[in-house]
Amino acid sequence: MTTPLHVPPTDPAPVASPDPLAAAVLTTGSAPGAVPPAAPPTRRGFVALLVLAAVGAGAAQMVAALLSLTLKATALDAAGATTIISLSSGIAGVVTLLTLPTIGALSDRTRSRFGRRRPYLVASAGSFALGGALLVVAPNVPLFVAAHLLITLGFVAASVTTTALLADQVPADRRGPAAAFLSLSTAMGALVGLTIAQPFGAQLALVVGLPTAFAVVTLVLLAVFLREERLTAPPARFALRQAVGVFWVDPVRHPDFALVFASRMLVFSGVAALNGYQAIYLLQEIGLTPAGLGGAILLTVVVNCGLSLLVAPFIGRLSDRLGVRRPFILVAALILGAGLVAASAATGFPSYLVACGVVALGQGVYFAVELALATRVLPDPENPAKDLALVKVADNLPVTLVAAVAPALLAIGGGGNFAALFIAGAASAVLGGVLILFVRGSR
């Protein structure tokens, strides 16, 4: 099991890297052009509810990405399940890339009697509820895709809003612990959600319904508890070029940033190759039954989270002490590649679990140093929000890219060629590690 990094959004990894979007909000406090409210005193219990809501959203999203979407696609068409998942994940990936900045901008500019963040918490809860219900009853692929999109929109809205609330409601000198827990909320959500869903095997109504209910309840609780100052001043004028510009940095003027972006996208493509097709691989190649799939994926999540969290703090301190980042990223990419190759050669679940452990070690090293390097090569360090948002795009774009190329790789040799997919992912990760050596603005 590997990490998304995604908000992912469709197939994010269980152990999330520190959220670049969160870092942007923590640095700037609000989006450009927003009229910030006077920060109200932080209410007792607010941070706990904020983190709980983020974990709830992560639970609903990750159970869908890791388990329930595969169960439903297999029920609709066992032979075509990989194609269904590829189609749905590709569409959801595009939607995620478009809605991440859009929802953030809309929230900053919202002026309502209910505040500017609360409406999006409620909308997130509603989107999760509708998406979960539709996933259970969907009789065909179009409605399956619609359910996936609703779940994705719920997760994006929850991620953007909880991150913004951290800046709105928590004083700058007290954000550290809350920011750390928010960064790990997707990983925590994966563990909680799969723990809730796993006992029910292939009973889709419960596998989908319980994590979704947890997300809805926690998001609504936060919305009810939230105290916001109502904004009356109109928002600053918004130019279309500002929305378009968030997706662009000139690679000629800023080659180091372009290299970091490309490296990150290649490494995450390797992760996405395993994340997006793990469940169907375990069913079709390893020979697990649908009833046993949830327990197996939960075990991979535990191995992944445990090893990544064990390795990352040590590597981060060592990297700080030595003052270097690039060699660690190359080593991480090589370890990730080795894990993916091992997964492609797995002959049973135990050997696959060992491969997941190797991948977890690689991503633990990667997440310990990569974002620190990225912050050293930003085109405008004094105004980092836009450029860190682009780093977030590099996390999520691989989901769409892998979904586009996976069917061709899987079709090699007559179909079901997961080895080709995983080895291609390994090559992508290693290439990303090599590419980082050409960055000159940081060691």
d(CA 109, CA 131): 26
pTM for the structure as a whole: 0.64
Residue 415: exposure state from Cβ atoms within 10 A (0-12, 13-18, ≥19): exposed
* pLDDT at res. 1: 46
Cα 133-287-333 angle, rounded to 5 deg: 85
* pLDDT at res. 122: 94
d(CA 56, CA 216): 8
Taking phi over 0 as left and psi of -120 to 50 as alpha, with beta for the rest, 218 belongs to: alpha
Position of tokens 């989901």?
399
pLDDT tens-digit map of 110-157: 777 788 888 999 999 999 999 999 999 999 999 999 999 999 999 988
* pLDDT at res. 154: 95
Handedness of CA 81, 86, 87, 88 (dihedral sign): positive
272 neighbors 85 (Cβ within 8 angstroms): no
Convert 303-340 to b/e letters by CB count within 10 Å (16 or more is b).
bbbebbeebbeebbeebeeeeebbebbbbbbbbbbbbb
**For 137, phi and psi rounded to 5 degrees?**
-100, -5
d(CA 161, CA 175): 16
**DSSP secondary structure letter of residue 231:** P
94 neighbors 20 (Cβ within 8 angstroms): no
d(CA 39, CA 377): 32
Q: Which two tokens stand for residue 197?
A: 């869903």
pLDDT tens-digit map of 391-440: 667 777 787 788 888 889 998 987 789 999 999 999 999 999 999 988 87
Encoded amino acid at 266, one letter: L
Q: Which two tokens stand for residue 69?
A: 């979407």
Give 10-residue mean pLDDT values along the chain (443 residues): 41 38 39 43 77 93 88 90 86 83 75 83 96 95 95 90 77 58 75 86 89 96 83 58 62 85 90 86 88 84 81 76 85 95 93 94 80 70 52 74 88 86 94 90 62
Instruction: For each of the domains in the chain, give its residue range(s) and CATH number, in order of start.
Output: 20-438 (1.20.1250.20)
Give 151-213 as a DSSP string.
HHHHHHHHHHHHHHHHHHHS-GGG-HHHHHHHHTHHHHHHHHHHHHHGGGTT-HHHHHHHHHH
d(CA 82, CA 283): 11
* pLDDT at res. 315: 79
Q: Which two tokens stand for residue 397?
A: 């774009």
* pLDDT at res. 17: 37
In degrees to the nearest 10, what's the CA dihedral of 130, 131, 135, 141? Answer: 120
